[in-house]
Amino acid sequence: MSRSLTVLSRGILGLALAGAALTAVPAAAQTPAQIQAAVDAAYAKYKDNNDGAVADYIPALAKVDPKVFGIAVVTADGKVYTAGDLKTEVWIQSISKVFTMALVMNQQNPDAILTTIGADATGMRFNSIVSVEWSYKGLGGSKLESAAEMNPLVNPGAITATSMVQGKSRADISRNISSFYNAAAGRQLTVLKDVYDSEAATNQRNQAIGMLMYAYGYIKDNPLQAVDIYTEQCSIGVNARDLATMAAMLAFGGVNPVTKKQVMKTADVPEVLAVMATAGLYDDAGKWLFRTGLPAKSGVGGGIIAVSPGKFGIAVISPPVDAAGNSVRAQLAIADISNALGGNPYAQFGPAAK
Ligand code: GLN
């Protein structure tokens, strides 16, 4: 515990200092050479940072190489700027939650997520069971009176979102999820079987969450199938470029800027980004937003995606995570690069500001 906290506070300090240096806002890096220089600088600065530890509560995750470190940025013209390891795939894990939420909104109506799950931060760990109890106000039976502090980016809400994906059979639901992810990434992604098997054998806690969400009426039927498909979607393999392209799809109104294909409805994108801003980095989402202003999403596989709307999508993979389950180097590198690129959507001051 104390080790993780040290890691965390060091991370915060580093970012706070980066922020302080920006009090006088410098001109944003915009030319291809400047963008590449910002990516290279972050890679060089954090390459040897060993803070954090690889998540080991899923046995297969414990075997991941902590040295993997890859960065990618995708801009409006579909150009991809990279540094470090672009080949290695990590498990997408919780980053998948964003794309399943988006798929549900795309298949149904934009309010489906808000009215069934909610869009408030839990302030608790991603797999908190207490948050479900805390949220549940429908004590009179299965009817929900209020889904208070719940959202689709923590496990209870995410498993519920997976249960809402439409499809004729289990295989069809699974296919609909992977085709949506493939369109966002611009290539065919695959489930990494060893993590799926490992997590499926040890995910009793998520099964309990699924059953609880069913008992409380969030999940309508077949809760254990929803948990199983959720586990499968979390086991999809992605490299830094895949993740940055997926983030860029969200940065550019649902159009993948590399393939130029419309992946989701443009109108749904701001709402997906809003939930990412609220809860993307779990119980550290507020601190992250304070430092960077960027809607983002982390996964215990070590990836983080972040979106600067209209400007760029960025992703970093680096497996060691901090106490909240967020990759340490990914947070540092994304914050630096976004600062250099003027990525903070709240740091747009209009003509009056000096
Ligand atoms: N599949 C993982 C779980 O449910 C995802 C967690 C994460 O990435 N934070 O525990």
**Residue 94 Cα: closest atom of ligand 1:** 8
pLDDT tens for each residue of 134-186: 777 654 444 444 556 889 999 999 999 999 999 999 999 999 999 999 999 99
Q: Please say if the pLDDT value at position 1 is more than 50.
A: no
Question: Domain extents for the chain?
Answer: 2-94+235-341, 96-233
Residue 7's pLDDT band (boundaries 50, 70, 90)? very low
Q: Do domains 2-94+235-341 and 96-233 have the same CATH topology?
A: yes
**Atom 4 of ligand 1, nearest CA residue:** 155
Helix and strand counts by DSSP (H, E) for the chain: 14, 7
Q: Please say if the pLDDT value at position 3 is more than 80.
A: no
How confident is the model at residue 44, as a pLDDT?
Answer: 98
38 Cα to the center of ligand 1, angstroms: 30
What CATH topology corresponds to 96-233?
Beta-lactamase (3.40.710)
Instruction: Confirm or reject: Cβ of 127 under 6 Å from ligand 1.
Output: yes
299 Cα to the center of ligand 1, angstroms: 7
300 Cα to the center of ligand 1, angstroms: 6
Coil, strand or helix at 160: helix
Instruction: Confirm or reject: Cβ of 299 under 6 Å from ligand 1.
Output: yes
The b/e string for 16-42 (b: 16+ C-beta within 10 A; e otherwise) is eebeeeeeeeeebbeeeeebbebbbbb
- CATH no., domain 2-94+235-341: 3.40.710.10
Contacts of residue 279, Cβ cutoff 8 Å, sequence gap at least 6: 121, 122, 151, 153, 154, 285
Contact 11/322 with Cβ under 8 angstroms? Answer: yes
Least trusted range by pLDDT, from 56-70, 97-111, 313-327 = 56-70
262 Cα to the center of ligand 1, angstroms: 28
